[in-house]
Amino acid sequence: MKKIAILFTLLSAIGTQHVSAQKLSAHSIDSAAVVHTILSRRSVRKYKDAPVRRDQMDMILKCGINAPSGMNAQPWEVRVVDNQQMLKDITEAQMSGMNEEQRKRMTGNGFRNMFRNAPSVVFVAVPEGRGELDAGILGENMVLAAWSMGIGSCFLGGPVRFLNSDERGKAFVKKLGFPDGYRLVYAIGFGYPDESPEAKPRDGEKVKYVE
Ligand SMILES: Cc1cc2nc3c(=O)[nH]c(=O)nc-3n(C[C@H](O)[C@H](O)[C@H](O)COP(=O)(O)O)c2cc1C
Protein backbone atom coordinates (compact mmCIF):
# COMPACT_ATOMS: atom_id res chain seq x y z
CA MET A 1 0.00 0.00 0.00
CA LYS A 2 2.86 2.33 1.01
CA LYS A 3 4.68 1.54 -2.27
CA ILE A 4 1.59 2.44 -4.27
CA ALA A 5 1.28 5.75 -2.41
CA ILE A 6 4.92 6.62 -3.18
CA LEU A 7 4.44 5.70 -6.83
CA PHE A 8 1.30 7.85 -7.00
CA THR A 9 3.11 10.84 -5.43
CA LEU A 10 6.00 10.42 -7.88
CA LEU A 11 3.69 10.27 -10.89
CA SER A 12 1.74 13.32 -9.68
CA ALA A 13 5.00 15.26 -9.34
CA ILE A 14 6.09 14.32 -12.86
CA GLY A 15 2.63 15.25 -14.12
CA THR A 16 2.80 18.67 -12.46
CA GLN A 17 6.23 19.34 -13.96
CA HIS A 18 4.94 18.39 -17.37
CA VAL A 19 1.93 20.72 -17.06
CA SER A 20 3.98 23.70 -15.86
CA ALA A 21 6.55 23.19 -18.65
CA GLN A 22 3.70 23.08 -21.15
CA LYS A 23 2.24 26.27 -19.72
CA LEU A 24 5.49 28.06 -20.41
CA SER A 25 6.10 26.60 -23.87
CA ALA A 26 6.12 29.03 -26.79
CA HIS A 27 3.35 27.06 -28.52
CA SER A 28 0.75 28.09 -26.00
CA ILE A 29 1.44 31.81 -26.57
CA ASP A 30 -1.13 33.77 -28.60
CA SER A 31 1.03 34.43 -31.65
CA ALA A 32 -1.53 36.71 -33.31
CA ALA A 33 -1.57 38.99 -30.25
CA VAL A 34 2.24 39.17 -30.14
CA VAL A 35 2.54 39.92 -33.86
CA HIS A 36 -0.24 42.50 -33.63
CA THR A 37 1.53 44.22 -30.72
CA ILE A 38 4.81 44.38 -32.63
CA LEU A 39 3.31 45.61 -35.91
CA SER A 40 0.92 48.15 -34.41
CA ARG A 41 3.43 49.81 -32.06
CA ARG A 42 4.27 53.43 -32.83
CA SER A 43 6.45 55.97 -31.09
CA VAL A 44 4.11 58.27 -29.17
CA ARG A 45 4.93 61.92 -28.46
CA LYS A 46 1.65 63.20 -27.06
CA TYR A 47 0.29 61.79 -23.79
CA LYS A 48 -2.57 62.18 -21.35
CA ASP A 49 -1.65 64.11 -18.24
CA ALA A 50 -1.03 61.16 -15.87
CA PRO A 51 2.05 59.06 -15.14
CA VAL A 52 1.87 55.33 -15.81
CA ARG A 53 0.32 53.47 -12.88
CA ARG A 54 3.00 51.85 -10.73
CA ASP A 55 1.50 48.34 -11.01
CA GLN A 56 1.58 48.63 -14.81
CA MET A 57 5.09 50.08 -14.76
CA ASP A 58 6.19 47.18 -12.54
CA MET A 59 4.98 44.73 -15.21
CA ILE A 60 6.74 46.73 -17.96
CA LEU A 61 9.99 46.62 -15.97
CA LYS A 62 9.57 42.91 -15.27
CA CYS A 63 9.25 42.29 -19.02
CA GLY A 64 12.35 44.45 -19.54
CA ILE A 65 14.60 42.52 -17.19
CA ASN A 66 13.38 39.22 -18.64
CA ALA A 67 15.12 40.13 -21.91
CA PRO A 68 17.99 37.90 -23.00
CA SER A 69 21.51 39.16 -22.31
CA GLY A 70 24.95 37.77 -23.15
CA MET A 71 25.77 35.03 -20.61
CA ASN A 72 22.76 36.33 -18.66
CA ALA A 73 25.01 39.14 -17.41
CA GLN A 74 22.06 41.58 -17.20
CA PRO A 75 24.50 44.46 -17.53
CA TRP A 76 21.84 47.15 -17.27
CA GLU A 77 20.85 49.52 -14.49
CA VAL A 78 17.35 50.96 -14.79
CA ARG A 79 15.83 54.03 -13.14
CA VAL A 80 12.22 55.18 -13.34
CA VAL A 81 11.24 58.82 -12.89
CA ASP A 82 7.57 59.74 -12.66
CA ASN A 83 8.19 62.75 -10.44
CA GLN A 84 6.85 65.56 -12.65
CA GLN A 85 8.92 68.22 -10.89
CA MET A 86 12.15 66.38 -11.68
CA LEU A 87 11.21 66.04 -15.37
CA LYS A 88 10.33 69.74 -15.40
CA ASP A 89 13.62 70.71 -13.73
CA ILE A 90 15.66 68.72 -16.28
CA THR A 91 13.72 70.37 -19.10
CA GLU A 92 14.29 73.85 -17.69
CA ALA A 93 18.00 73.12 -17.22
CA GLN A 94 18.32 72.11 -20.86
CA MET A 95 16.34 75.10 -22.07
CA SER A 96 18.36 77.55 -20.01
CA GLY A 97 21.33 76.80 -22.26
CA MET A 98 19.39 77.48 -25.49
CA ASN A 99 18.99 80.58 -27.57
CA GLU A 100 15.58 81.88 -28.62
CA GLU A 101 15.68 80.05 -31.95
CA GLN A 102 16.49 76.67 -30.35
CA ARG A 103 13.78 77.14 -27.71
CA LYS A 104 11.17 77.83 -30.36
CA ARG A 105 12.16 74.71 -32.28
CA MET A 106 11.92 72.57 -29.15
CA THR A 107 8.72 73.96 -27.65
CA GLY A 108 6.17 73.42 -30.41
CA ASN A 109 2.60 72.31 -30.15
CA GLY A 110 1.62 70.91 -26.72
CA PHE A 111 5.19 70.94 -25.40
CA ARG A 112 5.45 69.61 -21.84
CA ASN A 113 8.97 68.35 -21.39
CA MET A 114 12.15 67.35 -23.23
CA PHE A 115 11.20 63.67 -23.01
CA ARG A 116 8.74 64.12 -25.85
CA ASN A 117 6.18 65.12 -23.23
CA ALA A 118 6.12 61.73 -21.51
CA PRO A 119 4.92 61.73 -17.86
CA SER A 120 7.03 58.66 -16.94
CA VAL A 121 10.61 58.20 -18.06
CA VAL A 122 12.85 55.14 -17.76
CA PHE A 123 16.61 55.73 -17.90
CA VAL A 124 18.96 52.87 -18.81
CA ALA A 125 22.71 52.74 -18.17
CA VAL A 126 25.35 50.10 -18.87
CA PRO A 127 28.99 49.72 -17.88
CA GLU A 128 31.21 51.94 -20.06
CA GLY A 129 32.05 50.11 -23.31
CA ARG A 130 29.77 47.05 -22.99
CA GLY A 131 26.20 45.90 -22.65
CA GLU A 132 24.59 48.28 -25.14
CA LEU A 133 23.08 45.47 -27.21
CA ASP A 134 21.59 43.84 -24.11
CA ALA A 135 20.22 47.20 -22.97
CA GLY A 136 18.57 47.71 -26.36
CA ILE A 137 16.76 44.40 -26.08
CA LEU A 138 15.62 45.27 -22.56
CA GLY A 139 14.20 48.50 -23.96
CA GLU A 140 12.27 46.85 -26.76
CA ASN A 141 10.80 44.32 -24.32
CA MET A 142 9.53 47.23 -22.20
CA VAL A 143 8.15 49.16 -25.17
CA LEU A 144 6.25 46.15 -26.52
CA ALA A 145 4.93 45.12 -23.11
CA ALA A 146 3.71 48.68 -22.60
CA TRP A 147 2.00 48.81 -26.01
CA SER A 148 0.20 45.53 -25.30
CA MET A 149 -1.24 47.27 -22.21
CA GLY A 150 -2.35 50.37 -24.13
CA ILE A 151 0.64 52.40 -22.96
CA GLY A 152 2.59 54.47 -25.49
CA SER A 153 6.31 55.10 -25.48
CA CYS A 154 9.20 56.65 -27.34
CA PHE A 155 12.89 55.71 -27.25
CA LEU A 156 14.87 58.89 -26.59
CA GLY A 157 18.44 59.39 -27.64
CA GLY A 158 18.25 63.19 -27.98
CA PRO A 159 17.87 64.12 -24.29
CA VAL A 160 20.67 61.73 -23.38
CA ARG A 161 23.22 63.80 -25.32
CA PHE A 162 22.39 66.80 -23.10
CA LEU A 163 22.35 64.71 -19.93
CA ASN A 164 25.74 63.13 -20.62
CA SER A 165 27.60 66.16 -21.95
CA ASP A 166 26.29 69.32 -20.25
CA GLU A 167 27.28 70.05 -16.64
CA ARG A 168 23.63 70.83 -15.78
CA GLY A 169 22.59 67.53 -17.35
CA LYS A 170 25.30 65.57 -15.56
CA ALA A 171 23.99 66.83 -12.20
CA PHE A 172 20.66 65.13 -12.94
CA VAL A 173 22.30 61.90 -14.07
CA LYS A 174 24.07 61.86 -10.70
CA LYS A 175 20.67 61.99 -8.99
CA LEU A 176 19.69 58.79 -10.85
CA GLY A 177 22.31 56.99 -8.78
CA PHE A 178 23.93 54.70 -11.34
CA PRO A 179 26.99 52.81 -10.05
CA ASP A 180 30.43 54.24 -10.82
CA GLY A 181 31.63 53.44 -14.34
CA TYR A 182 28.09 53.24 -15.79
CA ARG A 183 26.98 55.41 -18.68
CA LEU A 184 23.43 56.48 -19.50
CA VAL A 185 22.67 55.06 -22.97
CA TYR A 186 19.05 55.95 -23.55
CA ALA A 187 15.78 56.97 -22.00
CA ILE A 188 12.27 55.82 -22.87
CA GLY A 189 9.26 58.02 -22.29
CA PHE A 190 6.04 56.20 -21.32
CA GLY A 191 2.45 57.36 -20.90
CA TYR A 192 -1.16 56.91 -21.93
CA PRO A 193 -1.32 57.96 -25.60
CA ASP A 194 -3.16 61.11 -26.65
CA GLU A 195 -2.45 60.58 -30.35
CA SER A 196 -2.55 57.71 -32.86
CA PRO A 197 0.44 58.15 -35.18
CA GLU A 198 0.53 56.58 -38.63
CA ALA A 199 3.08 53.82 -39.27
CA LYS A 200 6.45 55.06 -40.51
CA PRO A 201 7.65 53.34 -43.71
CA ARG A 202 9.94 50.31 -43.44
CA ASP A 203 12.39 49.18 -46.12
CA GLY A 204 11.90 45.47 -46.80
CA GLU A 205 14.83 45.55 -49.25
CA LYS A 206 17.24 45.56 -46.33
CA VAL A 207 16.35 41.94 -45.64
CA LYS A 208 17.60 39.15 -47.91
CA TYR A 209 17.77 35.38 -47.82
CA VAL A 210 21.23 34.07 -48.70
CA GLU A 211 20.74 30.90 -50.84
C1 LIG B 1 17.90 54.55 -30.29
C2 LIG B 1 16.71 55.41 -30.61
C3 LIG B 1 16.75 56.77 -30.30
C4 LIG B 1 15.64 57.57 -30.58
N5 LIG B 1 15.67 58.89 -30.19
C6 LIG B 1 14.57 59.67 -30.39
C7 LIG B 1 14.55 61.00 -29.91
O8 LIG B 1 15.49 61.50 -29.31
N9 LIG B 1 13.44 61.75 -30.13
C10 LIG B 1 12.34 61.21 -30.76
O11 LIG B 1 11.35 61.91 -30.93
N12 LIG B 1 12.32 59.92 -31.22
C13 LIG B 1 13.41 59.15 -31.05
N14 LIG B 1 13.40 57.83 -31.46
C15 LIG B 1 12.18 57.26 -32.09
C16 LIG B 1 12.36 57.11 -33.62
O17 LIG B 1 12.27 58.37 -34.22
C18 LIG B 1 11.25 56.18 -34.12
O19 LIG B 1 11.39 54.90 -33.54
C20 LIG B 1 11.31 56.01 -35.66
O21 LIG B 1 11.04 57.22 -36.29
C22 LIG B 1 10.30 54.95 -36.16
O23 LIG B 1 8.99 55.30 -35.78
P24 LIG B 1 8.11 54.31 -34.88
O25 LIG B 1 8.84 54.07 -33.61
O26 LIG B 1 6.79 55.01 -34.69
O27 LIG B 1 7.95 53.04 -35.67
C28 LIG B 1 14.49 57.01 -31.21
C29 LIG B 1 14.48 55.65 -31.51
C30 LIG B 1 15.56 54.85 -31.21
C31 LIG B 1 15.48 53.36 -31.49
The residue contributing the CA closest to ligand 1 atom 19 is 43
The b-or-e profile of 163-178 (16+ CB within 10 A means b, else e) is beeeeebeebbeebeb
Q: In ligand 1, which atom is closest to the CA atom of 197? A: 26
Residues near 94 by beta carbon (within 8 Å), at least 6 away in sequence: 114, 159, 162, 166, 168, 169
The residue contributing the CA closest to ligand 1 atom 25 is 43
The residue contributing the CA closest to ligand 1 atom 9 is 156
Helix (H) or strand (E) holding 126: strand 120-127
CB atoms near residue 75 (< 10 Å): 18
Residues 175 and 123: beta-carbon distance below 8 Å: no
Per-residue pLDDT of 120-167, as tens digits, reads 999 999 999 999 999 999 999 999 999 999 999 999 999 999 999 999
**Ligand 1 surroundings by CB, under 6 angstroms:** 42-43, 45, 116, 154-158, 186, 197, 200
Q: How far is the CA of 9 from the centre of ligand 1 (A)?
A: 54
Q: What is the mean pLDDT of residues 36-56?
A: 98
Domain 42-191 bears CATH identifier 3.40.109.10: yes
Per-residue pLDDT of 89-129, as tens digits, reads 999 999 998 899 988 888 888 899 999 999 999 999 999 99
Residues 134 and 126: beta-carbon distance below 8 Å: yes
Q: How far is the CA of 4 from the centre of ligand 1 (A)?
A: 63
CB atoms near residue 132 (< 10 Å): 15
pTM of this prediction? 0.89
CB atoms near residue 69 (< 10 Å): 16
